[in-house]
Amino acid sequence: MLCEECKTNEACYTVSVMAGDEMTTRHLCAECMAKMNANFAGGNIRNLLSSILSAITGTETPAPQEEDSGVVCPRCQTTQSQFTRTGRLGCPACYEAFREQLQPMLLQIHGRVQHAGRQPLTTEDAQRTRSRQEALTRQMEQAVALEDFETAARLRDQLRALAGQKEDA
């Protein structure tokens, strides 16, 4: 059978792609297989062979003349077809511009679309946590000065809980 990527050479490799729970298969010739290995070595999907990219995103790669949604990033003018072709976004504002189009792709790649990890210390939540920590520390120092060690211990435990929350965030 013919290679599904270049459609010229005879396919001699079978590549299985796991996306979430689904397994899709692609048949490649030696040349395209070598190209895929080189791309995977980089650890990202940029420049991925179109047939593998479509297996991951679960969509057929659009034919060249297909219309895109017409969305353009207002800051850097990246178009959706540019993004689909290169696999890279132009600037942070692209994430807002293409938020809708990105959801299915993020779901396929990561299995989830809600961030659960750390946040920058300058965000509101982090600032709120920091002010609360500062207030608790002041109260704890006051309690220690007044030799009210029970209250101080309670405040210390609250501080620890807050710090634990921050680590998980």
Partner 1 sequence: MEDQIVLSSRVRLARNYEDLPFDLSQHLDEADACINRTMNALALAGVQERYQLLRMCDLTENQRQALVDDHRISCDLLRAPQTAAVLLDDEHDVSIMMNEEDHLRIQAVHPGMDLLSAAASCFRVDDALSRQVAFAYDKQLGYLTSCPTNTGTGMRASLMIHLPMLTHYKQMGSVGQIVAKVGLTIRGVYGEGAEALGHVYMVSNQVTLGRTEQEIISTVTAVGHQLCDMERALRQKAMEERRAQTEDTIYRGWGVMRWAHLLPLNEFFKVWSAVRMGAAMELLPVPVKALDELLDQVQDANLRAMTERSLQGDALSEARAQVVRRSLRRAVHKEGD
In single-letter form, the type of residue at position 148 comes to D
Interface pattern 85-124 for partner 1 (x via CB under 8 A): --xxxxxx--xx-----x--xx--xxxxxxxxxxxxxxx-
| Among the listed residues 117, 138, 122, 131, the one whose alpha carbon sits nearest the alpha carbon of residue 162 | 131
Whole-angstrom distance, CA of residue 69 vs CA of residue 104:
15
The stretch near partner 1 (CB under 8 A) out of 43-51, 64-72, 135-143, 147-155 is 43-51
Contact between 128 and partner 1 by CB under 8 A: the answer reads no
**Distance between alpha carbon 121 and the CA centroid of its chain, in Å?**
20
Q: For partner 1, which is the closer residue by CB, 154 or 166?
A: 166
Contact between 44 and partner 1 by CB under 8 A: the answer reads yes
Among 18, 135, 161, 163, binds partner 1 (CB under 8 A): 18
Q: How far apart are the first and last CA of the chain?
A: 50
Contact between 168 and partner 1 by CB under 8 A: the answer reads yes
Q: For partner 1, which is the closer residue by CB, 37 or 59?
A: 37
Q: For partner 1, which is the closer residue by CB, 34 or 146?
A: 34
Write out the E strands in 84-129: none
Residues 6+ apart with CB under 8 A from 93: 73, 74, 75, 76
Residues 6+ apart with CB under 8 A from 111: 20
Q: For partner 1, which is the closer residue by CB, 11 or 73?
A: 73
Write out the residues near partner 1 by the rule CB under 8 A: 18, 34, 37-38, 40-46, 76, 87-92, 95-96, 102, 105-106, 109-123, 167-168
